[in-house]
Amino acid sequence: MAAGGPSRALLTRMSRQQVAVERARRAFLTGRTRPLDYRIRQLKSLQRCLEERQADIVTALKKDLHKSEQGTALFEIYGVQGEILLVINKLSDWAAPRPVEKNLLGISDQVYIQPEPLGVVLIIGAWNYPWAVTIQPLVGAIAAGNAAVVKPSEVGVHTAKVMEDLLPLYLDKEMYPVVTGGVPETQELLKQRFDHIFYTGNSTVGKVVMEAASCHLTPVTLELGGKSPCYIDSSCDLTITCRRIAWGKFSNCGQTCIAPDYILCDPAIQDRVVEELRKAVKEFYTDDPRSCVDYGRIINQRHFKRIMAMMEDSTLAFGGENDESQCYIAPTVLKDVKPGAKVMQEEIFGPLLPIIPVSSVDEALRFINEREKPLVLYIFSPDPKLIKRMVAETSSGGVLANDCLVHFSVSTLPFGGVGNSGMGAYHGKYSFDQLSHMRGCLIKSLSMEGVNKMRYPPHTAKKMDWVRYFLLSQMTVSLLGKLVLLPLLFLIVAVGLQRFFQ
Ligand SMILES: NC(=O)c1ccc[n+]([C@@H]2O[C@H](COP(=O)([O-])OP(=O)(O)OC[C@H]3O[C@@H](n4cnc5c(N)ncnc54)[C@H](O)[C@@H]3O)[C@@H](O)[C@H]2O)c1
Ligand SMILES: CC(C)=CCC/C(C)=C/CC/C(C)=C/C=O
C-alpha cells in the first residue's frame, strides 16, 4: 500500500463499498473533523439541503409510501431540522472536557472525560421514515466528529436515489459517502472495518449486523422494532384516548417502529374502544381512506401479502378493505383477538390494530412481561399511581403515557430499545455520546512524590493504613469544594503526607 493510502491500481480492484470506506477513513485521518467549526459547517449545509431540496424529498416519499407533503414535513423533516439546530447550539458544551469528581488522593490532579470521535461509522437506515432514521443518526455522527458511510434502505427506491444524489452536493463527499444497494451490497459493506455500526431495521437483520460487527470488535447501535403494547385503563376518556391511538397506529399506514402494536383493555370497554377508533379514523381519513391524501400505502406487495395473511384467524371489528395493485389496506381493527392468533406472532408493521381483552391490570402486566421487551410501552390512564406501577413492573425501550409517538420528538430523552427491541440510544446529546468515545483522562503532575510513596513498596502497615483510608474514603473533592475549608484542608493533607513519607 502506498504511503497515504492505497494506490490507484489497488483502488480499481476494490469493490465500490471498499472504496467508499477506505476514502472515508483516509478523510477521517486527515483530522479535519476535529475542529468544531468543520462539523458545524457540515451541519449547516445539511440544514440547507433539507430546506432547498424539500420538494425532491417530498416527491420521493410520495412515490415510495404515498406520504403527503405535510406528513413528510411533520414526521421526517422538522425533527431532523430541530436536531441540527440543537447540535449547533450545544456542540461546544457537549464536546468540551467533562470534569468529574475525584477522591482525596487526586486532590491536585485534573480528572475529566474528553469525548473524542470514534472514526468511521456505518449508518444503515430503514425505509419507513428514511430521513428520520438515516439522517438523524448522521447528524449525531457529524456532531461527534466521525466520518460516516450512509447506506439508505433499498426498499424505499426513490428516497434512496434522492439521498444518493443530494447528500454529496451538500456534504464533504469523501467524509460522508452514500452507498446504495440491497442485501449483497450491505453484506459487502459489513465485511469492512468500522468503528461503530448504527443499524435501524428488523431484529433478524440486527443479528446479522451484530455478527458481522463482531469480526472487527465493532460496537453497534441496534434500533429495532417489536410489538409495542398499548394498555387502556377503563377510567380513560375514550374519545381522546382512541383518537391518539388511531393517530399513532395509522400514521404511515402502521409502518412505524413505535406504532402501538396491539391494545390491551377490559372486555367491558372493548365495544366503546372500537366505536371511538372508528370515529377517529373517519375524522382523520374520511369515509374513504383510499382517496385521502393523508393516508399512506404499504411499501410493497411482499409486505402487503404478509399483513393480509395476519388477519386470517381474527374477528374483524371494522376495516379490512384492500387493493393489492395499490398496496392499499384500510385502517383495520380486530376484536376479541386471541394471544395465539397470527396477528400476535410478530410485529404487525401495518394498519391492523388487534384488541386483546384482559380482565385486570395484573393480567395486562403478565401479558406484557411474558413477551419480548418492546420498543415502547403505551399506557392510557388518568391515574398517576397506575402509570407508576406499570412503569415499575415492566421493561421497555421507553414509556409514553396518554399519547403515542411523540416521545420520539423529545430530544432530551434517549430513544432506543432494550433486549429484542435493540441496544444503544440516540437523539440530541445521546447521539453525540453514543457516537463518541468517552476518554477518561487523569493528568497528574510530577511533584508531590511524597504523597505517592504510600503505595510504593515496602508496604509497611502504616502506609497500608493511609492508603486504605484514602482509597476507601467516600469523600469526594467536589463535595469538599463546597466547604470553605477546602484550601486549608488541602494544605494540611499535602504537607502532612509529604513529611510523613519523606
Ligand atoms: N427502532 C427504530 O428506530 C426503528 C425505526 C424504523 C424501523 N424500525 C424497525 O425496522 C423494521 C422495518 O424495517 P426493515 O427491516 O423492513 O427495513 P429494511 O428492509 O429497509 O432493512 C433495513 C436495512 O437493512 C439492510 N438489510 C436488509 N436485509 C439485510 C441482510 N440480510 N443483510 C444485511 N443487510 C440487510 C437493508 O439494506 C436496509 O438498509 C421494523 O421492525 C421496524 O420496527 C426500527
Ligand atoms: C409530530 C410529532 C410531535 C411527533 C412525530 C414523532 C415522529 C417523528 C414519529 C416517527 C418516529 C419514527 C421515525 C419511527 C420509526 O419507525
Pocket test for ligand 2, best of 409, 410, 427 (most atoms within 8 A of CB): 409
pLDDT band at 469 (very low <50, low <70, confident <90, very high): confident
Q: What percent of the chain has pLDDT over 90?
A: 86
DSSP bridge pairs for 437: 116
What is the tens place of the pLDDT at every residue in 116-164?
Answer: 999 999 999 999 999 999 999 999 999 999 999 999 999 999 999 999 9
Nearest CA to ligand 2 atom 15: 257
Is 151 in contact with 167 (CB distance < 8 Å)?
A: no
C-alpha 502 – ligand 2 centre gap (Å): 65
Instruction: For residues 214 and 127, give the distance between their C-alpha atoms in angstroms, rounded to a whole number.
Output: 25
DSSP-derived letter for residue 76 is I
179-192 pLDDT, tens digit per residue, is 999 999 999 999 99
Within-domain flag for 275: yes
233 and 204 assigned to the same domain: no
- Tens digits of per-residue pLDDT, 440-452? 999 999 988 888 8
On whether residue 425 sits in a domain, the answer given is no
Q: Are residues 261 and 352 in the same domain?
A: yes
204: closest CA among 344, 64, 346?
346
Q: Is residue 1 part of a domain?
A: no
Q: How far apart are CA 297 and CA 328, in angstroms?
A: 5
- As a whole number of Å, the CA-based R_g of the chain is 27
Distance (Å, rounded) from C-alpha 387 to C-alpha 392? 9
Confidence of residue 18 (pLDDT cuts 50, 70, 90): very high
* Ligand 1 atom closest to Cα of residue 153: 39
Using 50, 70 and 90 to split pLDDT, how confident is the model at 267?
very high
**Rounded (5°) CA angle 205-366-398:** 50
Residues 210 and 333 in one domain: no
Q: Rounded CA gap, 297 and 68, in Å?
A: 11
The three cell numbers locating residue 74: 411533520
CA of 40 to the centre of ligand 2 (A): 25
Pure H helices in 286-425: 301-310, 361-369, 384-392
> How many angstroms separate the CA atoms of 459 and 359, rounded?
67
Range of the domain at 288: 229-416
- Distance between CA 97 and CA 252 in Å, rounded? 42
446: phi > 0 → left, psi -120 to 50 → alpha, else beta; which? alpha
Distance of alpha carbon 429 from alpha carbon 410, whole angstroms: 11
**pLDDT tens per residue across span 189-215:** 999 999 999 999 999 999 999 999 999
Give residue 494's pLDDT band: very low, low, confident or very high (50, 70, 90).
Answer: low
Whether 2 maps to a domain, the answer reads no
pLDDT at 483 over 90: no
- Of all atoms in ligand 2, which is nearest to the CA of residue 136? 13
Q: Structurally, how many domains does the chain consist of? A: 3
Q: Which residue puts its alpha carbon closest to atom 2 of ligand 2?
A: 406
Please state the atom number of ligand 2 nearest to the C-alpha of residue 256. Answer: 16
Query: What digits encode the pLDDT tens for the residues 87-124?
Result: 999 999 999 999 999 877 787 899 999 999 999 999 99
**Would the pLDDT of 352 be above 50?**
yes
DSSP 87-124: HHHHHHHHHS-EE---BGGGTTSEEEEEEEE-SEEEEE
Ligand 2 centroid to residue 75 C-alpha, Å: 5
Q: For residue 416, which ligand has an atom nearest its CA?
A: 1
**Are the C-beta atoms of 428 and 139 separated by less than 8 Å?**
no
The CATH number linked to 34 is 3.40.605.10
Whether 213 and 270 share a structural domain: no
What's the rounded Cα separation, in Å, for the pair 311 and 320?
8
Nearest bound ligand to the CA of residue 406: 2
CB of 405 closer than 6 angstroms to any ligand 2 atom: yes
CB of 245 sitting under 6 A from ligand 2 = no
Give the pLDDT score at 13.
Answer: 76
Confirm whether 105 is domain-assigned: yes
Q: Check whether 178 has a pLDDT greater than 60.
A: yes
Judged by phi (left if over 0) then psi (alpha if -120 to 50, else beta), residue 239 lies in alpha
Q: What are the strands, taking DSSP E only, across 100-188?
A: 110-117, 120-124, 147-151
The pLDDT value recorded for residue 477 is 66
On whether both 12 and 153 belong to a single domain, the answer is: yes
Mean pLDDT of 397-412: 98
Q: What single-letter DSSP state applies at residue 372?
A: P
Query: In angstroms, rounded to a whole number, what is the distance separating the alpha carbons of residues 139 and 42?
Result: 9
Shared domain for 55 and 142, answered yes or no, is yes
Indicate whether 481 and 341 sit together in one domain: no
| CATH code, 397 | 3.40.309.10
- Report the C-alpha gap between 413 and 398 in whole angstroms: 9
Banded model confidence at residue 341, pLDDT cuts 50, 70, 90: very high
> Within a domain: residue 487?
yes
- For cell 510530577, the residue is 446
Pair 221, 426: CB distance under 8 Å: yes
Q: How many helices (H) and strands (E) does the chain have?
A: 20, 17
- Whether residue 2 is predicted with pLDDT greater than 50 in this model: the reply is no
Non-local (6+) Cβ contacts of 455 within 8 A are 463, 467
Q: Is 133 in the pocket of ligand 2 (CB under 6 A)?
A: yes
Helices (H), 215-322: 238-250, 270-285, 301-310
232 lines ligand 2 (CB under 6 A): no
Per-residue model confidence as pLDDT tens digits over 368-395: 999 999 999 999 999 999 999 999 999 9
pLDDT of residue 356: 98
- Identify the band that residue 415 occupies on the pLDDT scale cut at 50, 70 and 90: very high
Q: Is the CB of 413 under 6 A from ligand 2?
A: no
Say whether both 387 and 404 belong to one domain.
Answer: yes
What spacing in Å lies between the alpha carbon of 453 and ligand 2's midpoint? 58
Residue 479 pLDDT > 60: no
200 alpha carbon – ligand 1 mean position (Å):
5
Both 219 and 97 in a single domain?
yes
Distance CA 170, CA 148 (A): 14
Q: Give the integer Cα–Cα distance in Å for 413 and 3.
A: 45
Q: Is residue 443 part of a domain?
A: no
Strands 220-223 and 260-265: unpaired
β-bridge mates for residue 148, sequence order: 121
CA neighbor of 66 nearest in space, from 297, 253, 292, 250: 297
Per-residue pLDDT, averaged over 289-302, amounts to: 97
The residue assigned the cell 492508603 is 467
Residues 219 and 352 in one domain: no
The residues assigned a catalytic role are: 223, 257
For residue 337, is pLDDT > 80? yes
Instruction: Give the residue from 223, 225, 272, 277 showing the smallest Cα distance to 248.
Output: 277
Same domain, residue pair 176 and 268: no
Strand partners, 263: 230, 355
DSSP 149: E
Residue 445 domain-assigned (yes or no): no
pLDDT of residue 451: 81
| Residue from 81, 129, 203 whose mutation best tests the ligand 2 pocket (most atoms within 8 A of CB) | 129
pTM: 0.93
Question: Do 121 and 62 reside in the same domain of the chain?
Answer: yes
Say yes or no: CB of residue 200 within 6 Å of ligand 1.
Answer: yes
